[in-house]
A and B are shown apart, each in its own frame.
Chain A
Amino acid sequence: MGSPEVLIEAQDIIKMYDDFIAVDGISFKVYKGECVGFLGPNGAGKTTTVRMMYCFLPPTSGVLKIAGLDVTSQCREIKSLVGVAPQEENLDPDFTVIKNLTVYARYFDISRIEALERADEQLRFFQLEEKRDVPIAALSTGMKRRLIFARALINQPQILLLDEPTTGLDPQARHLAWDEVRDLKKKRVTIILTTHYMDEAAALCDRILIIDRGKIIEEGKPAELVKKHVGEEVLEVDYDENLLPSLKEAFPEGDFERLGDRLQIFTDKPHGVFEGYLKEHPMQNVTIRTANLEDVFLKLTGRGLREE
């Protein structure tokens, strides 16, 4: 195999609204067949970045190329290669479920017969066959999200942009969406995914970019990021000032983090170090778990709430 093909390339992208900087000079590359997750708090610039990738928003400065095409001048070509599942529900309420897909296919110059075939195939996969001929208003939130996902695939895109595809889905529907993403990865479709669910990012993404305040603050493979920033294991106990000295003595290398009335201790020591301590100091309400991406996320972006 030769060097991997770069499918998305961003170089110093800035997006400004009046005097607010939504995206503040980000650069990244996405290779063919990769699934890259964009993580970040609300208002971090994830959606703005995704929107620039399909020419919905023009960058204020910088170079953004999709499959070698420039977003400022080759929008038509880019949009024919890309499938978009936006965060916002924008299905066509004037049409039924099937007609939403076939009308959308028509925007891509897909023939009527081909459109119907593809649409029915998508409805089967997303288990919406029974809703084929009902109006959009009769769908639940989860069904609408599935239909938006299905619609994004109608032009058989090379690049798929999924902006919070599973927000509001129940676990069954979420796993259905995950299956579809994995299936598309096998077909070498390049996927950009923004999400607030760390388990989703860990399960699906080959690589993760953590974005905060319009900048990329960290990037890497999910497992590597966990190892690098929060280590292996976490001990969670009820916060008690009297306990602190003994814990600090037992785990001098540990990272201590107070979370309300709970205390978290992170360690990069191999599994089992906490069990030994607990045998000697029995405690109530103790949890030992593997460190995860959520720990990384909170560590890097802080615990304060973000408003949009």
Chain B
Amino acid sequence: MTAPGIRKSPARFSLPKLTYRVGKVWQRNFDVFTKTATVNFLPSLLEPILYLLAFGYGLGSFIPSIQGISYIRFIAPSLVAIAIMTGAFYECTFGSFVRMYYQKTFDAIIATPISVEEVVAGELLWGATRATINATIVLAVIAIFGLISSPLFLFVLPLSFFGGLMFASIAMCFTAAAPNIDFFNYPSFLFLTPMLFLCDTFFPLTSLPKIAQAVAMAVLPLTHIVNITRAVVSGRVDLILGLNPTMLLLISLAWVIVVTVFFFILSINLMKKRLVS
């Protein structure tokens, strides 16, 4: 046996080792969700209806058309994209923080054969699932309003899962850094709210200067989710930065994949550092 010396910090950065046990953490959250399903469904159902009524019909009646389509058709795919963002982000900030900090649920789980990495990965997959559920509800609403105009609309399901995973992973980095629950007001107001309005959601990004378009494409994840959602729900895209549609969609897809992988690994490492010291 070697002499016991001071070891390197066990929380050093690494690729997470994950097994099927991630699913057990996901299952725990799913069980809680189904228990309170009605309370969970109502807001995600009401919100898009209100947006469609207020902006689509109300405000929209003063707008003759945007890029050849009615205003309500312009914002319909945006509502799906916003549901993906908020569903995952709030689940993995407020939701995960409550489970970690107040309920000590993570502490209880990591006393079983499930590892810290698997707990966090399970939370991220659950955040992605919440995004998918919310996006599906919004999709149903806009379908009922007759606002789907592409046969590819079912691609929203995988898109909302992976887009949700991206927002969940970004959110989890804030959770790893949060000293208390009020801290989440910062990412909420400084990150989520600007994206809600500036990412080609309620007006075409192409009406802003090129530099603003470039910034939105470079650092605001929602821009890319809106691009892809718009393509699969409405069969068209906004030609941001004058790019051709295929190029724009390829850039958005690549951006989402790279950012998701990066933040997935980063957030698990940051949480591990926070939870194991």
Residues on A facing B (Cβ under 8 Å): 11-12, 17, 54-63, 72, 75-76, 79-80, 82, 84, 86, 88-95, 99, 103-104, 106-109, 155
Contact = CB atoms under 8 A, between A and B. Distances in A.
A109 B23 CA distance: 11
A61 B5 contact: yes
A92 B10 contact: no
B47 interface: no
Interface stretch (B72-80, B107-115, B149-157, B211-219): B107-115
Interface string B81-125: 000000000000000000000011101111111110000000000
Interface in B5-55: 5-7, 10, 21, 24, 27-28, 31-32, 35
Contacts of A94: 32, 35, 103, 105
B3 to A, nearest CB: 9
B111 A86 contact: yes
B1 interface: yes
A56 B111 contact: yes
Nearest to A96: B35
B113 A76 contact: yes
A56 B277 CA distance: 9
Contacts of A58: 7, 10, 276
A80 B4 contact: no
Contacts of A108: 112-113
Interface centre among B24, B28, B113, B277 (most CB of A within 10 A): B113
Given A58-B276, A60-B6, A63-B4, A90 B105 contact: yes
B69 to A, nearest CB: 44
A107 B276 contact: no
Nearest to A84: B111
B108 A104 contact: yes
Chief secondary structure at chain A's binding surface:
loop
B266 to A, nearest CB: 21
A90 B104 contact: yes
Interface of B: 1, 4-7, 10, 21, 24, 27-28, 31-32, 35, 103-105, 107-115, 276-277
A72 B10 contact: yes
Nearest to B29: A94
Given A63-B4, A106-B27, A95 B32 contact: yes
Nearest to B114: A107
A107 B4 contact: no
B107 A75 contact: no
Contacts of A62: 4
Nearest to A108: B112
A60 B113 contact: no
A79 B103 contact: no
27 contacts: A12-B4, A56-B276, A57-B276, A60-B6, A61-B4, A61-B5, A72-B7, A79-B112, A80-B113, A86-B111, A90-B103, A90-B107, A92-B28, A92-B105, A92-B108, A93-B103, A94-B103, A94-B105, A95-B31, A95-B32, A103-B28, A103-B31, A106-B27, A107-B21, A107-B113, A107-B114, A155-B112
A107 B107 contact: no
Nearest to A136: B103
A99 B34 CA distance: 14
Contacts of A90: 103-105, 107-108
B113 A92 contact: no
Contacts of B1: 63
B171 to A, nearest CB: 20
Nearest 4 CB-CB pairs, A to B? A90-B104, A107-B112, A90-B108, A94-B32
